[in-house]
Amino acid sequence: MKQFDRDSFARQLRQGAEELHIGLSDAQVAQLLDYLALLAKWNAVYNLTAVRDPQQMLTQHVLDCLAALPAFEHAQNVLDVGAGGGLPGLVLAIWGAARTPAMQVSMIDTVHKKTAFLTQAKSQLGLSNVTVHTARVESLQAPQKFDVITSRAFAELKDFITWSQHLLAEGGCYIAMKGVEPVEEISRLPNGWHVREVRPLHVPGLQAQRHLVFIEREADTGADAQRRSAAGESRDVDDATNKTDVTQSANASAAIQKDQA
């Protein structure tokens, strides 16, 4: 592993955050650098990410995730699917911990060495707003649904939604971090979902393309509402008919018993 030049990285981090118009306190800068050092240390043994040079990690991972932060400005309870080395989950948690109330960030991955790293990072960085799950997202049952579900280079959008839609709160949205604009993936979205926005990102020091894809449930149409209303009215009629049948049957039974007496 190349030398970890903390002072140089701190300058680059502050400069990048300023370019992105993101305010970071000294404590947050220190936490992000602690996270970067921990990621580089674990990566040398456990291969958490293909990027091995801490300098490249700063640009391709940390600044990349910082560029996405404004999209999460109003998020309160976030799930990072396929969290891997904590990107964007841990960066979000460090940034969101200073808010009141703090942004809650859950991270899920199926690989034990990755969730072990996430758990260690949570402890070492003092992030009480983080929860880590070792599981498949389609089997996760959370006590509270998430207003934002995110992922970074995790899976095709169709699969991402299909596997995790049971965890999205009403009115919530997906924010998928992608490289080039995923036009073909968008064309294959499951029924009932639509893309609200595709937002290009500028990442300081990075020439590669980056995009955020915002996906929401489609709004109910008038026809949908009418069908639900008709179904509800039909159920009401059925219930009323059943109640009448039960009452008539009970009255007939009582009359028979009276005659027999």
Q: What are the DSSP calls for 96-126, one per residue?
A: HTTSSSPPEEEEEES-HHHHHHHHHHHHHHT
Helix spans in the chain (H): 6-19, 26-46, 54-57, 64-68, 89-96, 112-125, 157-164, 183-187, 222-260
Residue 34 counted as domain residue: yes
Window from 62-76, 138-152, 218-232 with minimum mean pLDDT: 218-232
Same domain, 212 and 243: no
Give the residue-averaged pLDDT of 79-106: 96
Tally of domains in the chain: 2
pLDDT in tens, 123-173: 999 999 999 999 999 999 999 999 999 999 899 999 999 999 999 999 999
Same domain, 186 and 61: yes
According to the model, what pLDDT value does residue 221 have? 53
Handedness of CA 94, 97, 102, 105 (dihedral sign): positive
According to the model, what pLDDT value does residue 256 have? 37
Same domain, 34 and 103: yes
Q: Is the pLDDT of residue 255 over 50?
A: no
* pLDDT band at residue 258 under the 50/70/90 scheme: very low
| Side-chain-side CA neighbours of residue 35 (13 Å) | 30
- The enclosing H or E element of 220 equals none
The Cα-based distances of 81 to 98, 119, 132, 137, 239 in angstroms read 23, 15, 11, 7, 43
- CATH number reported for the structural domain that contains residue 21 in this entry: 3.40.50.150
Same domain, 82 and 137: yes
Residue 161 counted as domain residue: yes
Same domain, 88 and 200: yes
Same domain, 199 and 178: yes
Same domain, 127 and 22: yes
| Residue 87 to residue 90: CA distance in whole angstroms | 6
Residue 1 counted as domain residue: no
Residue 97 counted as domain residue: yes
On whether the CB atoms of residues 211 and 234 are closer than 8 A, the answer is no
Mean of the per-residue pLDDT values for the chain? 89
Window from 61-65, 91-95, 202-206, 217-221 with minimum mean pLDDT: 217-221
Same domain, 123 and 230: no
Residue 111 counted as domain residue: yes
Residue 64 counted as domain residue: yes
Window from 27-31, 166-170, 179-183, 247-251 with minimum mean pLDDT: 247-251
| Side-chain-side CA neighbours of residue 129 (13 Å) | 21
What's the domain range around 37?
6-217
Same domain, 129 and 246: no
Q: Is the pLDDT of residue 223 over 60?
A: no
* pLDDT band at residue 230 under the 50/70/90 scheme: low
Give the residue-averaged pLDDT of 74-89: 98
SS3 assignment, position 132: strand
Same domain, 235 and 107: no
According to the model, what pLDDT value does residue 2 have? 66
pLDDT in tens, 160-203: 999 999 999 999 999 999 999 999 999 999 999 999 999 999 99
Residue 52 counted as domain residue: yes
Same domain, 193 and 260: no
Same domain, 70 and 122: yes
| Residue 118 to residue 133: CA distance in whole angstroms | 9
SS3 assignment, position 203: coil
Residue where a domain stops, chosen among 201, 217, 233: 217
